[in-house]
Structure 1
Amino acid sequence: MRLFIAVNFTPEIKSDLFKITQYMKQNSIKGNFTKKDNFHLTIAFIGESNALKDIQKAMNMAIEQPEIKSFTLSIEGLGKFNRREGDIYWAGIKNNSLLSQLNKAIVKELRNSGFIIEDREYRPHLTLGRKVVFKNTFDIEEFKKTIPPMEMAVNRVSLMKSETIGGQLIYTEIYHCDLI
Protein backbone atom coordinates (compact mmCIF):
# COMPACT_ATOMS: atom_id res chain seq x y z
CA MET A 1 0.00 0.00 0.00
CA ARG A 2 1.11 3.57 -0.66
CA LEU A 3 0.92 5.31 2.73
CA PHE A 4 1.39 8.69 4.36
CA ILE A 5 0.53 10.36 7.65
CA ALA A 6 -1.56 13.51 7.43
CA VAL A 7 -3.85 16.05 8.99
CA ASN A 8 -7.23 15.88 7.31
CA PHE A 9 -9.27 19.04 6.96
CA THR A 10 -12.80 19.76 8.10
CA PRO A 11 -15.58 19.80 5.49
CA GLU A 12 -15.72 23.61 5.81
CA ILE A 13 -12.01 24.04 5.09
CA LYS A 14 -12.25 21.56 2.19
CA SER A 15 -15.15 23.59 0.74
CA ASP A 16 -13.22 26.85 1.03
CA LEU A 17 -10.14 25.31 -0.60
CA PHE A 18 -12.28 23.76 -3.33
CA LYS A 19 -13.76 27.19 -4.18
CA ILE A 20 -10.21 28.51 -4.60
CA THR A 21 -9.25 25.64 -6.92
CA GLN A 22 -12.43 26.03 -8.96
CA TYR A 23 -11.66 29.71 -9.53
CA MET A 24 -8.11 28.81 -10.49
CA LYS A 25 -9.43 26.13 -12.87
CA GLN A 26 -11.80 28.61 -14.56
CA ASN A 27 -8.84 30.91 -15.18
CA SER A 28 -6.36 28.35 -16.43
CA ILE A 29 -5.49 26.86 -19.78
CA LYS A 30 -4.61 23.56 -18.13
CA GLY A 31 -4.00 22.01 -14.75
CA ASN A 32 -4.60 19.06 -12.47
CA PHE A 33 -6.54 20.42 -9.50
CA THR A 34 -6.91 18.68 -6.14
CA LYS A 35 -10.25 16.99 -5.61
CA LYS A 36 -12.31 18.32 -2.72
CA ASP A 37 -12.07 15.07 -0.74
CA ASN A 38 -8.28 14.86 -1.18
CA PHE A 39 -7.25 18.05 0.62
CA HIS A 40 -4.85 17.21 3.46
CA LEU A 41 -1.59 18.29 5.05
CA THR A 42 1.13 15.64 4.82
CA ILE A 43 3.07 15.12 8.04
CA ALA A 44 5.25 12.24 6.79
CA PHE A 45 5.35 10.33 3.52
CA ILE A 46 6.00 6.61 4.01
CA GLY A 47 5.58 5.18 0.52
CA GLU A 48 4.92 1.54 -0.26
CA SER A 49 4.48 -0.57 2.88
CA ASN A 50 2.26 -3.21 4.44
CA ALA A 51 3.74 -2.82 7.94
CA LEU A 52 0.60 -1.25 9.39
CA LYS A 53 1.22 -2.41 12.97
CA ASP A 54 4.70 -0.84 12.97
CA ILE A 55 3.36 2.44 11.60
CA GLN A 56 0.51 2.51 14.13
CA LYS A 57 2.95 1.84 16.97
CA ALA A 58 5.24 4.64 15.74
CA MET A 59 2.30 7.05 15.55
CA ASN A 60 1.16 6.14 19.06
CA MET A 61 4.66 6.54 20.49
CA ALA A 62 5.04 9.93 18.80
CA ILE A 63 1.81 11.38 20.16
CA GLU A 64 2.56 10.14 23.69
CA GLN A 65 5.45 12.60 23.96
CA PRO A 66 4.57 15.46 26.33
CA GLU A 67 5.22 18.24 23.79
CA ILE A 68 2.74 16.72 21.30
CA LYS A 69 -0.75 18.12 21.73
CA SER A 70 -3.66 19.54 19.76
CA PHE A 71 -3.13 22.91 18.10
CA THR A 72 -4.62 25.43 15.72
CA LEU A 73 -3.48 25.33 12.12
CA SER A 74 -3.52 28.52 10.05
CA ILE A 75 -3.73 28.33 6.27
CA GLU A 76 -2.72 31.50 4.47
CA GLY A 77 -1.18 32.69 1.26
CA LEU A 78 -0.64 31.16 -2.13
CA GLY A 79 2.66 30.01 -3.54
CA LYS A 80 4.06 27.94 -6.36
CA PHE A 81 6.84 25.61 -7.33
CA ASN A 82 7.98 26.42 -10.87
CA ARG A 83 7.86 23.50 -13.26
CA ARG A 84 8.51 23.44 -17.00
CA GLU A 85 5.27 21.55 -17.81
CA GLY A 86 3.15 23.83 -15.57
CA ASP A 87 3.53 25.06 -12.01
CA ILE A 88 2.45 23.45 -8.73
CA TYR A 89 0.29 25.89 -6.76
CA TRP A 90 -0.15 25.52 -3.01
CA ALA A 91 -1.72 27.19 0.00
CA GLY A 92 0.74 28.06 2.74
CA ILE A 93 0.74 26.97 6.36
CA LYS A 94 1.66 29.59 8.95
CA ASN A 95 4.76 28.66 10.98
CA ASN A 96 3.66 26.56 13.93
CA SER A 97 6.04 25.05 16.47
CA LEU A 98 3.52 22.37 17.52
CA LEU A 99 3.12 21.23 13.90
CA SER A 100 6.92 21.08 13.53
CA GLN A 101 7.22 19.07 16.74
CA LEU A 102 4.54 16.66 15.53
CA ASN A 103 6.39 16.16 12.24
CA LYS A 104 9.73 15.58 14.01
CA ALA A 105 8.25 13.14 16.54
CA ILE A 106 6.47 11.06 13.89
CA VAL A 107 9.49 10.99 11.56
CA LYS A 108 11.77 10.00 14.45
CA GLU A 109 9.51 7.13 15.54
CA LEU A 110 9.07 5.91 11.95
CA ARG A 111 12.84 5.90 11.46
CA ASN A 112 13.32 4.10 14.79
CA SER A 113 10.92 1.45 13.44
CA GLY A 114 13.08 0.97 10.34
CA PHE A 115 11.23 3.13 7.82
CA ILE A 116 13.28 5.19 5.40
CA ILE A 117 11.84 8.70 5.54
CA GLU A 118 13.25 11.40 3.26
CA ASP A 119 15.73 13.58 5.13
CA ARG A 120 14.82 17.16 4.27
CA GLU A 121 13.40 20.18 5.99
CA TYR A 122 9.67 19.99 6.62
CA ARG A 123 7.92 22.72 4.62
CA PRO A 124 4.21 22.31 5.21
CA HIS A 125 1.92 23.30 2.36
CA LEU A 126 -1.18 21.92 0.72
CA THR A 127 -1.29 21.34 -2.98
CA LEU A 128 -4.09 23.07 -4.87
CA GLY A 129 -3.06 22.21 -8.43
CA ARG A 130 -0.33 20.61 -10.49
CA LYS A 131 0.81 21.42 -14.05
CA VAL A 132 -1.13 24.68 -13.89
CA VAL A 133 -0.85 27.21 -16.69
CA PHE A 134 -3.03 30.29 -16.26
CA LYS A 135 -4.63 32.33 -19.02
CA ASN A 136 -2.63 35.45 -19.91
CA THR A 137 -5.52 37.60 -18.66
CA PHE A 138 -5.42 36.11 -15.13
CA ASP A 139 -3.84 38.37 -12.51
CA ILE A 140 -2.46 35.99 -9.90
CA GLU A 141 -1.32 38.81 -7.61
CA GLU A 142 -4.84 40.25 -7.46
CA PHE A 143 -6.27 36.77 -6.91
CA LYS A 144 -3.91 36.18 -3.96
CA LYS A 145 -5.39 39.23 -2.21
CA THR A 146 -8.87 37.68 -2.31
CA ILE A 147 -7.91 34.47 -0.46
CA PRO A 148 -8.91 34.76 3.19
CA PRO A 149 -6.82 33.10 5.92
CA MET A 150 -8.38 29.94 7.37
CA GLU A 151 -7.96 28.29 10.77
CA MET A 152 -8.73 24.83 12.03
CA ALA A 153 -8.22 22.92 15.27
CA VAL A 154 -6.00 19.86 14.79
CA ASN A 155 -7.05 17.10 17.16
CA ARG A 156 -5.90 14.01 15.28
CA VAL A 157 -3.40 12.65 12.80
CA SER A 158 -4.32 10.02 10.25
CA LEU A 159 -2.59 7.18 8.47
CA MET A 160 -3.75 7.47 4.87
CA LYS A 161 -3.76 5.02 2.00
CA SER A 162 -3.37 6.41 -1.51
CA GLU A 163 -4.74 4.41 -4.43
CA THR A 164 -6.04 4.96 -7.92
CA ILE A 165 -9.53 3.61 -8.48
CA GLY A 166 -11.20 4.03 -11.85
CA GLY A 167 -8.57 6.56 -12.88
CA GLN A 168 -9.23 8.68 -9.77
CA LEU A 169 -6.75 9.25 -6.93
CA ILE A 170 -8.47 8.29 -3.67
CA TYR A 171 -7.14 8.88 -0.14
CA THR A 172 -8.60 6.74 2.62
CA GLU A 173 -7.97 7.01 6.35
CA ILE A 174 -7.04 3.58 7.68
CA TYR A 175 -5.95 4.56 11.20
CA HIS A 176 -5.82 7.67 13.37
CA CYS A 177 -4.48 8.96 16.67
CA ASP A 178 -6.23 11.62 18.71
CA LEU A 179 -4.19 14.54 20.02
CA ILE A 180 -4.98 15.78 23.50
Structure 2
Amino acid sequence: MRTFITFDFDLKTKQQIANIQRIIKDNSNKGRFKYYNNFHLTLQFLGETDLSTVNEIYDQLLKAAKSFSKVKVFLQGIDAFVSGNNIRTIYLKVHGELEKIKNIAEKVFLITNKFGFKKDNKFIPHVTIAQDVDLNISFDELKEKVKGIKIDNIVFDKIIIMKSEEIEGKRIYTPLKILYLK
Protein backbone atom coordinates (compact mmCIF):
# COMPACT_ATOMS: atom_id res chain seq x y z
CA MET A 1 0.00 0.00 0.00
CA ARG A 2 1.11 3.57 -0.69
CA THR A 3 1.77 5.55 2.50
CA PHE A 4 3.12 8.80 3.89
CA ILE A 5 3.60 10.45 7.29
CA THR A 6 1.83 13.77 7.73
CA PHE A 7 0.28 16.53 9.74
CA ASP A 8 -3.42 16.88 8.89
CA PHE A 9 -5.69 19.92 9.06
CA ASP A 10 -9.11 20.27 10.64
CA LEU A 11 -12.14 20.73 8.37
CA LYS A 12 -12.36 24.51 8.89
CA THR A 13 -8.74 24.98 7.81
CA LYS A 14 -9.25 22.71 4.79
CA GLN A 15 -12.22 24.84 3.75
CA GLN A 16 -10.11 28.00 4.06
CA ILE A 17 -7.38 26.40 1.93
CA ALA A 18 -10.05 25.47 -0.64
CA ASN A 19 -11.01 29.18 -0.85
CA ILE A 20 -7.45 30.02 -1.90
CA GLN A 21 -7.46 27.09 -4.29
CA ARG A 22 -10.64 28.53 -5.88
CA ILE A 23 -8.76 31.76 -6.69
CA ILE A 24 -6.06 29.70 -8.40
CA LYS A 25 -8.66 27.67 -10.34
CA ASP A 26 -10.41 30.87 -11.42
CA ASN A 27 -7.12 32.12 -12.87
CA SER A 28 -6.12 28.86 -14.58
CA ASN A 29 -6.80 27.26 -17.93
CA LYS A 30 -6.18 23.80 -16.49
CA GLY A 31 -4.48 21.92 -13.68
CA ARG A 32 -4.83 19.11 -11.18
CA PHE A 33 -6.39 20.50 -8.04
CA LYS A 34 -6.24 18.59 -4.77
CA TYR A 35 -9.54 17.44 -3.30
CA TYR A 36 -10.08 19.68 -0.26
CA ASN A 37 -10.21 16.74 2.16
CA ASN A 38 -6.68 15.77 1.08
CA PHE A 39 -4.89 18.97 2.12
CA HIS A 40 -2.05 18.09 4.51
CA LEU A 41 1.61 18.81 5.31
CA THR A 42 3.77 15.80 4.42
CA LEU A 43 6.62 14.99 6.78
CA GLN A 44 7.85 11.94 4.83
CA PHE A 45 6.58 10.17 1.74
CA LEU A 46 7.08 6.43 2.12
CA GLY A 47 5.56 5.01 -1.04
CA GLU A 48 4.79 1.30 -1.21
CA THR A 49 4.86 -0.13 2.31
CA ASP A 50 3.50 -3.28 3.92
CA LEU A 51 1.44 -3.19 7.12
CA SER A 52 4.12 -4.84 9.25
CA THR A 53 6.62 -2.09 8.29
CA VAL A 54 3.99 0.56 9.06
CA ASN A 55 3.53 -1.01 12.50
CA GLU A 56 7.28 -1.08 13.15
CA ILE A 57 7.68 2.55 12.07
CA TYR A 58 4.73 3.49 14.28
CA ASP A 59 6.34 1.77 17.29
CA GLN A 60 9.56 3.72 16.70
CA LEU A 61 7.64 6.97 16.23
CA LEU A 62 5.75 6.38 19.48
CA LYS A 63 9.06 6.31 21.35
CA ALA A 64 10.34 9.43 19.58
CA ALA A 65 7.02 11.28 19.93
CA LYS A 66 7.59 11.67 23.66
CA SER A 67 9.94 14.53 22.73
CA PHE A 68 7.48 16.11 20.26
CA SER A 69 5.07 18.84 21.25
CA LYS A 70 2.19 20.50 19.43
CA VAL A 71 3.16 22.81 16.58
CA LYS A 72 1.55 26.20 15.92
CA VAL A 73 1.57 27.53 12.37
CA PHE A 74 -0.24 29.78 9.95
CA LEU A 75 -0.52 29.69 6.17
CA GLN A 76 0.00 32.77 4.02
CA GLY A 77 1.19 33.32 0.47
CA ILE A 78 1.86 30.88 -2.32
CA ASP A 79 4.93 29.66 -4.12
CA ALA A 80 5.69 27.01 -6.70
CA PHE A 81 7.99 24.16 -7.57
CA VAL A 82 8.80 24.62 -11.25
CA SER A 83 10.40 22.52 -13.94
CA GLY A 84 11.69 24.69 -16.76
CA ASN A 85 8.81 27.03 -17.61
CA ASN A 86 6.16 24.68 -16.21
CA ILE A 87 4.54 25.05 -12.81
CA ARG A 88 4.77 21.56 -11.35
CA THR A 89 3.23 22.39 -7.98
CA ILE A 90 1.58 25.44 -6.42
CA TYR A 91 1.71 25.38 -2.65
CA LEU A 92 0.76 27.43 0.38
CA LYS A 93 3.66 28.73 2.43
CA VAL A 94 3.83 27.64 6.06
CA HIS A 95 4.91 30.11 8.77
CA GLY A 96 5.27 29.87 12.53
CA GLU A 97 7.10 27.09 14.34
CA LEU A 98 9.00 25.91 11.27
CA GLU A 99 12.04 24.75 13.23
CA LYS A 100 9.80 22.43 15.25
CA ILE A 101 8.36 21.00 12.03
CA LYS A 102 11.84 20.54 10.55
CA ASN A 103 13.09 18.84 13.73
CA ILE A 104 10.12 16.47 13.77
CA ALA A 105 10.59 15.74 10.05
CA GLU A 106 14.28 14.99 10.65
CA LYS A 107 13.46 12.57 13.48
CA VAL A 108 10.80 10.93 11.30
CA PHE A 109 13.39 10.54 8.54
CA LEU A 110 15.97 9.02 10.91
CA ILE A 111 13.38 6.40 11.88
CA THR A 112 12.11 5.66 8.37
CA ASN A 113 15.68 5.55 7.02
CA LYS A 114 16.29 2.48 9.23
CA PHE A 115 13.64 0.75 7.11
CA GLY A 116 15.27 1.76 3.82
CA PHE A 117 13.22 4.88 3.05
CA LYS A 118 15.05 7.83 1.53
CA LYS A 119 14.46 11.57 1.69
CA ASP A 120 12.78 12.99 -1.40
CA ASN A 121 14.56 16.35 -1.52
CA LYS A 122 15.42 19.16 0.85
CA PHE A 123 12.46 19.36 3.22
CA ILE A 124 10.36 22.50 2.70
CA PRO A 125 7.22 22.62 4.86
CA HIS A 126 4.38 23.36 2.44
CA VAL A 127 0.79 22.50 1.56
CA THR A 128 0.25 21.40 -2.04
CA ILE A 129 -2.96 22.80 -3.51
CA ALA A 130 -2.50 22.31 -7.27
CA GLN A 131 -0.24 20.56 -9.77
CA ASP A 132 0.53 20.91 -13.48
CA VAL A 133 -1.21 24.28 -13.59
CA ASP A 134 -1.52 26.40 -16.73
CA LEU A 135 -2.30 29.92 -15.50
CA ASN A 136 -4.09 32.57 -17.55
CA ILE A 137 -2.29 35.34 -15.61
CA SER A 138 1.35 35.59 -14.50
CA PHE A 139 2.38 33.75 -11.36
CA ASP A 140 3.38 37.09 -9.81
CA GLU A 141 -0.15 38.40 -10.42
CA LEU A 142 -1.60 35.28 -8.80
CA LYS A 143 0.68 35.71 -5.77
CA GLU A 144 -0.61 39.29 -5.42
CA LYS A 145 -4.23 38.12 -5.45
CA VAL A 146 -3.73 35.79 -2.46
CA LYS A 147 -0.93 37.47 -0.49
CA GLY A 148 -3.26 39.15 2.02
CA ILE A 149 -5.10 35.94 2.93
CA LYS A 150 -3.88 34.44 6.19
CA ILE A 151 -5.09 31.14 7.63
CA ASP A 152 -4.24 31.42 11.30
CA ASN A 153 -4.50 29.51 14.59
CA ILE A 154 -3.48 26.12 13.19
CA VAL A 155 -2.24 23.63 15.77
CA PHE A 156 -0.79 20.31 14.68
CA ASP A 157 -1.48 18.01 17.61
CA LYS A 158 -1.00 14.65 15.93
CA ILE A 159 1.18 12.90 13.37
CA ILE A 160 -0.60 10.48 11.06
CA ILE A 161 0.65 7.56 9.02
CA MET A 162 -1.70 7.82 6.07
CA LYS A 163 -2.66 5.35 3.37
CA SER A 164 -3.19 6.78 -0.10
CA GLU A 165 -5.28 4.91 -2.63
CA GLU A 166 -7.24 5.64 -5.76
CA ILE A 167 -10.91 4.70 -5.54
CA GLU A 168 -13.20 5.34 -8.51
CA GLY A 169 -10.68 7.78 -9.99
CA LYS A 170 -10.36 9.80 -6.79
CA ARG A 171 -7.36 9.91 -4.44
CA ILE A 172 -8.50 8.88 -0.93
CA TYR A 173 -6.38 9.25 2.22
CA THR A 174 -7.10 7.00 5.19
CA PRO A 175 -5.34 7.26 8.57
CA LEU A 176 -3.60 4.01 9.51
CA LYS A 177 -1.89 5.13 12.72
CA ILE A 178 -2.15 8.30 14.79
CA LEU A 179 0.41 9.66 17.27
CA TYR A 180 -0.84 12.40 19.58
CA LEU A 181 1.53 15.21 20.52
CA LYS A 182 1.66 16.77 23.97
Is TM > 0.5 for Structure 1 vs Structure 2? Answer: yes
Residue aligning to 1:90? 91
Instruction: Provide the C-alpha distance between the structure 1 equivalents of 2:38 and 2:44, rounded to a whole number of angstroms.
Output: 16
Residue aligning to 2:61? 59
Instruction: Provide the C-alpha distance between the structure 2 equivalents of 1:123 and 1:86, rounded to a whole number of angstroms.
Output: 17
Match status 1:10 vs 2:10: yes
Instruction: Provide the C-alpha distance between the structure 2 equivalents of 1:137 and 1:127, rounded to a whole number of angstroms.
Output: 19
Task: String of CA shifts for 1:54-105, please: whole Å, max 9, x gaps.
Answer: 12112212212x3x21121222221011235544110011262211111111
Equivalent AA in structure 2 for residue 99 of structure 1: I
CA drift at 1:177: 0.3
Residue aligning to 1:157? 159
- Unaligned runs of 5+ residues in structure 1 are none
Equivalent AA in structure 2 for residue 77 of structure 1: G
User: What aligned pairs does 1:62-141 form with structure 2 within 5 A after superposition?
Assistant: 62-64=64-66, 66=67, 68-83=68-83, 84-94=85-95, 96-112=98-114, 114-118=115-119, 120-136=121-137, 139-141=141-143
Residue 123 of structure 1 aligns to a residue whose secondary structure is: coil
* TM-score (ref. length: structure 1): 0.90
Equivalent AA in structure 2 for residue 34 of structure 1: K
Residue aligning to 2:147? 145
* TM-score (ref. length: structure 2): 0.89
- Unaligned runs of 5+ residues in structure 2 are none
Instruction: Provide the C-alpha distance between the structure 2 equivalents of 1:111 and 1:121, rounded to a whole number of angstroms.
Output: 15
Query: Where has structure 1 moved over 4 Å in runs of 4 or more?
Result: none
Match status 1:48 vs 2:48: yes
CA drift at 1:43: 0.7
Task: String of CA shifts for 1:81-133, please: whole Å, max 9, x gaps.
Answer: 12355441100112622111111111112223x23222642111111100111
Residue 53 of structure 1 aligns to a residue whose secondary structure is: helix
CA contact (8 A) 1:58 1:106 kept: no
The 1:119/1:20 distance shift into structure 2, 3 A limit, reads: closer
The 1:141/1:5 distance shift into structure 2, 3 A limit, reads: closer
Percent identity for Structure 1 against Structure 2: 25
Residue aligning to 1:178? 180
Equivalent AA in structure 2 for residue 33 of structure 1: F
CA contact (8 A) 1:87 1:133 kept: no
Instruction: Provide the C-alpha distance between the structure 2 equivalents of 1:77 and 1:162, rounded to a whole number of angstroms.
Output: 27
CA drift at 1:24: 1.1
Instruction: Provide the C-alpha distance between the structure 2 equivalents of 1:145 and 1:71, rounded to a whole number of angstroms.
Output: 23
Q: How many residues get paired?
A: 177
CA contact (8 A) 1:86 1:132 kept: yes
Residue aligning to 2:170? 168
